[in-house]
Structure 1
């Protein structure tokens, strides 16, 4: 199958493209490289350095004629969305609408869209099911929800098939410190370097952390399973920020390190836990990584990366 992956050079995109290639698919990466890195080469990957809101996107679809699209390209920072709401809307809403138009014009069979738990806001009940009210606290969460509306309307009007995946807090190898789950990358970086990390609030706020390779597996499964579905993709286990800090500190062997506590940031959700049972049923998918296993793999990768840099490789 030929698959366009928007944002394919980014954090989740890299893992998704790697998995698709292992599965034998032909992949077309569209990424403006604002945050990603061009790392793929070979006959099974075509790369287009392009913003998805560009009118030139139609030329990509005309040339490649993909059968499916995994739409990961987005502005992913809650704080940046609050500072620059028009930029957030251009990437996450206008870009998505432009992409949807190409999907319809070029008869794409399936769209998989990366949405977010941020659409729910502070839910009144945990775990959060797909039917829970969407009351986002940030422009980022609002932009993801509006993009979902557009997808559903394109489906009703033009027959587009889709699966919307609402990710929990994704973490893992090659993550930078700017995205939704930047707390994990930030903790790992600072603790490995022996620096005190900071925690916004009292640290008792909880998150549903899901390893990036599990998210890539959900993306790939959604290409073939599910029709006009909205599905939560999470671990199903809440972890407090304080617990996360202690886990990383223990794995890194920095037992004496203590965090610095700072005020809550506006737009931050207090507690989030996704009910992932529908995704398990519809996609035949389930998380393969525990929090401990995922953190160990991530930290081992970061240690090896630092060792290579130090040795000049």
Structure 2
């Protein structure tokens, strides 16, 4: 099967591409390499260096004719979306529309869209949040992801293309970028290994549902099934505070850093926890890598990278 992966040079996308190649699929990657890295792309995949907003995307779809599109390319930082909501909308709304429109026009069977469980639900009324939870995003990023889901639903109703939206919890793991403002695990690890002082935003009691990137890749492959459609949370259902995360990483890295707190960031919710029951029951997906094991693997990756 031919699968086109947008953002396939990025953190999550490159892991998805690796699994697709392992399963014997013909993989095409579209990535502008603004944050993704060419070295992340599996050598068996065909890379187009291209922005998802580009009119040239039509040519890629016309030439490649993918059966399935896995759409991961995005502006992924909540804080950057607050600072520049126009850019966030250009990438996450207009870019997504372009990808899905081309998929429809060129006969793709399905689009699997990477959405956001944390950012879409906003401050939750129940914990963990099921897919039926009200959507009240607190940031432009959350709004743009929700908008992407709505456009995908529209194209499903009007064209018949199959649509799956995967609402990720907080994804972490090897290849995550520690230089940006997204990805607290990577940021903390790099600073600790460099004997620098990590800063905890706010009081550190805010919680997240941390899901390992390999498990997220498996969720994407599960979503490719013939009849799979709809919205699915991808998370662990386990809540971890940033203070607790700091202590776990300090232990794994051997860092002696103290817990230093800075101001809270705008647009960040206090608690985020998604319920993965639906994807477990419908697709047989479940978390296989718990947080202690995932953090251990991630620290090992960064140690090797920095050595």
1:300 paired residue number: 300
2:53 paired residue number: 53
TM-score, normalisation: structure 2 = 0.97
Distance 1:177 1:146 in 2: 28
Distance 2:201 2:53 in 1: 34
Distance 1:160 1:194 in 2: 50
Q: Which runs of 5+ in 2 are unaligned?
A: none
Distance 1:207 1:114 in 2: 18
Distance 1:225 1:252 in 2: 43
Q: Which runs of 5+ in 1 are unaligned?
A: 308-313
Cα offset, 1:150, TM superposition: 0.3
Distance 2:130 2:84 in 1: 30
Cα offset, 1:285, TM superposition: 0.8
The 8 Å contact of residues 78 and 182 in structure 2, kept in 1 or not, is answered as no
Distance 1:265 1:239 in 2: 18
TM-score, normalisation: structure 1 = 0.95
1:287 paired residue number: 287
1:23 paired residue number: 23
Cα offset, 1:73, TM superposition: 0.3
In structure 2, the CA distance between the partners of 1:233 and 1:61, relative to structure 1 (3 Å rule), is same
Report the aligned-residue RMSD.
1.3
The 8 Å contact of residues 17 and 42 in structure 2, kept in 1 or not, is answered as no
Distance 1:171 1:226 in 2: 29
Cα offset, 1:131, TM superposition: 0.3
The 8 Å contact of residues 76 and 182 in structure 2, kept in 1 or not, is answered as no
Secondary structure of 2:243's partner? helix
Distance 1:180 1:70 in 2: 24
* CA offsets 1:86-120 (integer angstroms, 9 cap, x no match): 11011000011111111111110111000002111
Distance 1:102 1:224 in 2: 21
1:272 paired residue number: 272
In structure 2, the CA distance between the partners of 1:41 and 1:222, relative to structure 1 (3 Å rule), is closer
Question: What are the within-5 Å matches in structure 2 for residues 120-199 of structure 1?
Answer: 120-177=121-178, 181-199=182-200
Distance 1:69 1:119 in 2: 22
2:236 paired residue number: 235
Distance 1:246 1:81 in 2: 29
Cα offset, 1:41, TM superposition: 5.8
Question: What are the within-5 Å matches in structure 2 for residues 209-224 of structure 1?
Answer: 209-224=210-225
Cα offset, 1:125, TM superposition: 1.2
In structure 2, the CA distance between the partners of 1:181 and 1:127, relative to structure 1 (3 Å rule), is farther
